[in-house]
Structure 1
Amino acid sequence: MIRSSVGIGIAAALASATAYGINIVYARMATQQGVSAADLVFLRVFLMLGAVAVVTAISRGALRLPAAGRPAILGLGIASAGVGLAYFFAVSFVPIGVAAIIFYTFPLLILLASPFVDGGRFTLHRFGVFALAFTGLAIAIGPKLGDIDPRGILLAALASTLAAWQFFMASRSGRHVGPQAMMFWSHIVIMPISGAAALLLGGIGWGAIAQAWLPSALTVAGYLAGFALQMVAARRAPAAMVGLIFCLEPVVAILFAGLILGETLSHAQMIGSLLVLAALIASSLAELRREPQPAPVPADGR
């Protein structure tokens, strides 16, 4: 029975990583067709908030938010809004492969920051993994740095940093708030931020969304499916195992960017991406050797 439950969690994690990886491809397609990244974030958060409210009502779940959990929920919502906005805007300036290489270093930032946030010490393994990833980034981006829009690089780096912060805030929120309440209240924080960003850029572009309805719908659907499956994976499989499986997400994003958008990586970018992926796998394998811990569920995946 336990093995069956873990198997379901692993399958859900694989499906979630695939959904998230495809989601960003259609987000880039939508932005290329005139849809604002802020509009996409607002739309998906609006629908997610409605879905969480319906599920909570049906299951009679509690949405109580203890005072002790409010600061972490606020931080989680701000970080989650920033991740979605920064990553979606990044892929409107640079190819998905470049943005993905930078963004998916956030697990390594978590590894680097955890001694400061959760206590502990730096180890040779931590330094080695981070050095490998940094080398991969230098190989992938360095030779063509002058040809890449710096706005996309900075936004992808910001999204990665915020995703690491999101992880720590999700972990702290989970100590005081149940999963449904955490999702609901964090999305309450995300909505006005994404709405304000959309208004600053001229308001919700319903006309552009209607014109690019297919990639917009697939972007939102990929996010909703990925998030729901991530919840299943977090409850049924060890956190380190889920983290290892999610290393496939950038691979899926890059592969589908090639299949759907015709974007391809240069040889240097391919080698650099493989080094970053190797660093991610090495850090996840190290976590697998530790005692399994419950996987925190971020409020806004990608």
Structure 2
Amino acid sequence: MALRHASEADAARQRNGAPAAKVGLGIALVLLASLCLAATPTLARLAYAHGSDAATVSLARFLVSGVGFVAIMLLRGERVPGDRRLLVGGIVIGACYVVQTLAYLSSVQYVSVPVAVLVFFTFPVIAALIVRVSDGVPLTRAKWAAVIVAFSGVAVATGASPQIPDGRGLSLAFLAAVGTAAYIVYGGAIGRRSGPIVINALSLSVAAIIMTAHAVFVSAPALPHGIVGWVGLAASGLLFLAGILAFFTGLLLLDTLRATLLANSEPFFAIAIAFAILGEGLTLAQGMGALLVVVGVMLPQIAARRPVSLRSRKT
């Protein structure tokens, strides 16, 4: 989730100016981002258990992160360009944000957090398939292997569940993965033109407006009762903002491939947090499925990194 709108050109250019001693800080920031984002579905479950719902948690997330990114954009002296394509793109991405977030946060109402996380984190390989269909870009052997391995992992993890997972939860998690993949494919070019801060400020503001309109005209927010519910609601929004900011800050100090590989720790963090707070864990067979999912997602990134390593050895 943190890899949305990551610009390889910008990251490489900014990384070249960063002292080598700061690489460790970059690694720590990307891992911190993964930890923050990994906690959000479990925090949402806490809010649900105390009377809230997915729409309310989504509203809190978008209000907090939208205001946060707009403030950062203004502090940096950046403005939204008067580019119609950018404005339309921001609206479309904001709408995709709403669909993706509602689907993902709703999925954990029907299936355990670990199962929802594993289905959701197939989005990188789904993005490769979307590019294959929409742009006619052929998939490399590494990407075909990624698709097969990742979805085999999902099949193993869900098939090995002690109880058959609720189809609604699996469908919602998969919808969230498809939405995220489409968001990455469509939003990548827009993010490279405007920069990650501007496009995030715009799209998250659009998402906040959509969810505010939903709360006013469709269904009033389901506010949680009790301090635990409020902590889950507030922390879900704050950690989402902190995670995105930590990732983009870390990206200034690392190359995109290294940041991508490190960000793949997010599913492991999410599963560990769900086990620690909710007591939701994985069986051994499900753990093997989870490992297959992560390996599948990492295969293209490892293959892309290999030539860089070979060139650096020659020099």
**Distance in 2 (alpha carbons) for counterparts of 1:211 and 1:124:** 47
Determine the structure 2 residue equivalent to 1:20: 37
Matched position secondary structure for 1:206: coil
**Distance in 2 (alpha carbons) for counterparts of 1:116 and 1:291:** 28
**Distance in 1 (alpha carbons) for counterparts of 2:252 and 2:82:** 21
Contact 2:118 2:290 in 1 (8 A): yes
Determine the structure 2 residue equivalent to 1:71: 88
Shift of 1:188: 2.5
Cα gap change, 1:55 to 1:128, in 2 (>3 Å):
closer
Instruction: State the Cα deviation string for residues 225-255 of structure 1 (Å, max 9, x = none).
Output: 1011012123332222111111110100101
Matched, 1:151 2:173: no
Contact 1:40 1:216 in 2 (8 A): yes
2:257 corresponds, among 240, 248, 271, to: 240
Matched, 1:173 2:203: no
TM alignment of 1:123-142, pairs within 5 A: 123-142=140-159
Determine the structure 1 residue equivalent to 2:219: 202
Contact 1:66 1:176 in 2 (8 A): no
TM alignment of 1:77-92, pairs within 5 A: 77-92=94-109
Instruction: State the Cα deviation string for residues 7-41 of structure 1 (Å, max 9, x = none).
Output: 33222111100111122211112112221111111
Uncovered stretches (5+) of structure 2, i.e. residues with no partner: 1-17, 310-315
Matched, 1:188 2:199: no
Cα gap change, 1:13 to 1:117, in 2 (>3 Å):
farther
Determine the structure 1 residue equivalent to 2:275: 258
Determine the structure 1 residue equivalent to 2:9: none
Identify which range, 221-230 or 188-197, moves more after superposition. Answer: 188-197
Matched, 1:29 2:49: no
**Distance in 2 (alpha carbons) for counterparts of 1:65 and 1:18:** 36
TM normalised by structure 2 equals 0.84
1:275 corresponds, among 292, 304, 313, to: 292
Cα gap change, 1:265 to 1:132, in 2 (>3 Å):
same
Instruction: State the Cα deviation string for residues 228-286 of structure 1 (Å, max 9, x = none).
Output: 10121233322221111111101001011111111111222111111111112222212
Contact 1:65 1:177 in 2 (8 A): no
Uncovered stretches (5+) of structure 1, i.e. residues with no partner: 293-302
**Distance in 2 (alpha carbons) for counterparts of 1:84 and 1:144:** 25
Instruction: State the Cα deviation string for residues 128-155 of structure 1 (Å, max 9, x = none).
Output: 1211112111111124496321111110
**Distance in 1 (alpha carbons) for counterparts of 2:80 and 2:161:** 49
Contact 2:65 2:238 in 1 (8 A): no
Percentage of matched positions with identical amino acids? 26
Determine the structure 2 residue equivalent to 1:296: none
TM normalised by structure 1 equals 0.88
Identify which range, 123-132 or 151-160, moves more after superposition. Answer: 123-132
Matched position secondary structure for 2:110: coil
User: Which amino acid is the alignment partner of residue 70 of structure 1?
Assistant: L
Identify which range, 129-138 or 93-102, moves more after superposition. Answer: 129-138
Determine the structure 1 residue equivalent to 2:239: 222
Determine the structure 2 residue equivalent to 1:45: 62
Cα gap change, 1:78 to 1:209, in 2 (>3 Å):
farther
Determine the structure 2 residue equivalent to 1:297: none
Identify which range, 263-272 or 176-185, moves more after superposition. Answer: 176-185
**Distance in 2 (alpha carbons) for counterparts of 1:218 and 1:184:** 20
Determine the structure 2 residue equivalent to 1:295: none
Identify which range, 158-167 or 28-37, moves more after superposition. Answer: 28-37
**Distance in 2 (alpha carbons) for counterparts of 1:145 and 1:71:** 45
Instruction: State the Cα deviation string for residues 163-196 of structure 1 (Å, max 9, x = none).
Output: 1011122212124323332122112221233234
Instruction: State the Cα deviation string for residues 104-133 of structure 1 (Å, max 9, x = none).
Output: 010111222233445531222222121111
Shift of 1:198: 4.2
